[in-house]
Amino acid sequence: MSKQNIPRTELSELGEFGLIDQLTKNIKLKNKSTIKGVGDDTAVIEKNRNKYTLVTTDLLIEGVHFDLTYYPLKHLGYKAAIVNFSDIIAMNGKPEQIIIGISVSNRFSVEAIEEIYSGIYLACEKYNVDVVGGDTTSSVSGLFIAITVIGEVDKKDIIFRSTAKKGDLLCVTGDLGAAYMGLLLLEREKQVFKVDPKMQPDLTGNDYILEQQLKPEIRIDIIEKLKEHNIKPTSMIDISDGLASEIKHLCKDSNLGCNLYEDKIPIDITTASVAEEFKIDPTTAALNGGEDYELLFTINQNDYEKIKDMEGISIIGHMTDKSEGENLITRSGTSVQLKAQGWEAFKK
């Protein structure tokens, strides 16, 4: 068949996750040390008899993942590190080393790049992570940041997405939707500024949602709290693409269904207030907003008494047989199919 006759598939037809499946479906692992490749928050590599090495990477592109109109460079560097640390935490591990790749156009000064790195260094200092290398190159179209983080976990402690069981309780840390509402607020003020550059942004009283968008933190505190109470989640993932999307990942990889209860989803009062201002259902923001970097995990029902009163954790549902599907139980008691409409690269 000539190249002219090869059918063309648009990226938007597959979407980000479909493209990943397409590109990785024929991968065959060749090394015994590769315990887990594509398909979880990180790759898992056998380090020695007692530990696994965890490796994750992320690419941030100006105009796609961040807007420098309102994103301070130091905050950008901090977040670039944090979102990768979060993947390591989601495997129940500890981030230890970071490798930084950066590509910049000549519109950026040395001082601007130093500001980005100061944010990365701040995150590394806070979470005791070493910068061990990287690469810099020129760009003809803005700023690109590629981060690789290496961590480790005791073999007995590692948690995958694929190991939830029917009847397990579905839990989430913190509250959801704040980062998305912070983003909408920043976007609104950007549009106001474009119309009248003399106008000052109206961000008063919204510190919490802005911080959740611009300077998120990893939930290592929850990991430590669970260990203190002798609770090991049966599966876990961090929330980067929205609660609905991550729940569907757990269900798919564990070959299960779920019931998620709308009235149990934790939403901060500021998030709800700003959502109302934007005429958005707060539940929609929580399900589909993304960038919360909270932890979504399942636990055995036997651990209910240990976790039910634990601060910072909400029980939001349970896992069911795959045949029952993935369902959202609304406040009125109606069961509807859970749909993921959050961030996905390449979608139309």
Residue 334: count other Cβ atoms within 10 Å of its Cβ. Answer: 10
Secondary structure (DSSP) of 257-302: EEEEEGGGS---HHHHHHHHHTT--HHHHHHH------EEEEE-GG
> What is the rounded average pLDDT of the residues 280-304?
97
**What's 62's DSSP letter?**
B
Same domain, 188 and 107: no
- What is the C-alpha separation between 60 and 16, in angstroms, rounded? 15
CA-nearest of 233, 217, 227, 224 to 292 is 217
Q: Does 335 have pLDDT greater than 60?
A: yes
Same domain, 114 and 228: no
Q: What is this structure's pTM?
A: 0.88
pLDDT at 42: 85
Q: What is the extent of the structural domain holding 93?
A: 11-157
**What's 311's DSSP letter?**
T
**Is residue 266 in some structural domain?**
yes
pLDDT at 8: 78
Q: Which of 114, 131, 157 is the last residue of a domain?
A: 157
What is the percent of the chain with per-residue pLDDT over 70, rounded to a whole number? Answer: 89
Q: What digits encode the pLDDT tens for the residues 183-236?
A: 999 999 999 877 877 777 778 889 999 999 999 999 999 999 999 999 999 999
Residue 18: count other Cβ atoms within 10 Å of its Cβ. Answer: 16
Same domain, 148 and 178: no
Range with lowest mean pLDDT among 26-40, 184-198, 295-309, 328-342: 26-40
**Is residue 163 in some structural domain?**
no
**Is residue 265 in some structural domain?**
yes
Tokens of 128: 């005791």
pLDDT at 1: 47
Q: How many domains does the chain have?
A: 2
Same domain, 53 and 153: yes
- What is the C-alpha separation between 327 and 320, in angstroms, rounded? 10
**Is residue 99 in some structural domain?**
yes
Same domain, 79 and 175: no
Tokens of 271: 């998030």
Q: What digits encode the pLDDT tens for the residues 71-98?
A: 999 999 999 999 999 999 999 999 999 9
Q: Does 319 have pLDDT greater than 50?
A: yes
- What is the C-alpha separation between 219 and 174, in angstroms, rounded? 9
- What is the C-alpha separation between 301 and 118, in angstroms, rounded? 44
Residue 47: count other Cβ atoms within 10 Å of its Cβ. Answer: 15
CA-nearest of 271, 266, 290, 283 to 207 is 271
Same domain, 146 and 246: no
> CA of 207: how far to CAs of 113, 163, 176, 244, 272, in Å?
26, 37, 15, 26, 14
Q: Which of 128, 157, 186 is the last residue of a domain?
A: 157
Same domain, 306 and 173: yes
**Is residue 345 in some structural domain?**
no
CATH of the domain at 15: 3.30.1330.10
Contact 155, 50 (CB under 8 A): yes
Same domain, 104 and 182: no
pLDDT at 33: 66
CA-nearest of 166, 142, 121, 167 to 64 is 142
Same domain, 314 and 184: yes
pLDDT at 234: 98
Same domain, 207 and 286: yes
Phi, psi of 317 (to 5 degrees): 170, -160
pLDDT at 238: 97
Q: Does 267 have pLDDT greater than 90?
A: yes
CATH of the domain at 175: 3.90.650.10
Range with lowest mean pLDDT among 29-38, 110-119, 177-186, 225-234: 29-38
**Is residue 280 in some structural domain?**
yes
End-to-end Cα distance, the chain: 30
Same domain, 193 and 268: yes
Q: Which of 132, 157, 182 is the last residue of a domain?
A: 157
Q: Does 309 have pLDDT greater than 70?
A: yes
Angle between helices 269-277 and 207-214 (to 10 degrees): 90
Tokens of 332: 């009125």
Q: What digits encode the pLDDT tens for the residues 34-66?
A: 777 666 668 888 878 899 999 999 999 998 899
Residue 95: count other Cβ atoms within 10 Å of its Cβ. Answer: 28
Residue 32, Cβ density class (10 Å: 0-12 exposed, 13-18 middle, ≥19 buried): exposed
Outline where DSSP puts E strands in 47-143. 51-61, 94-104, 130-138
Residue type, 196: D
Same domain, 25 and 140: yes
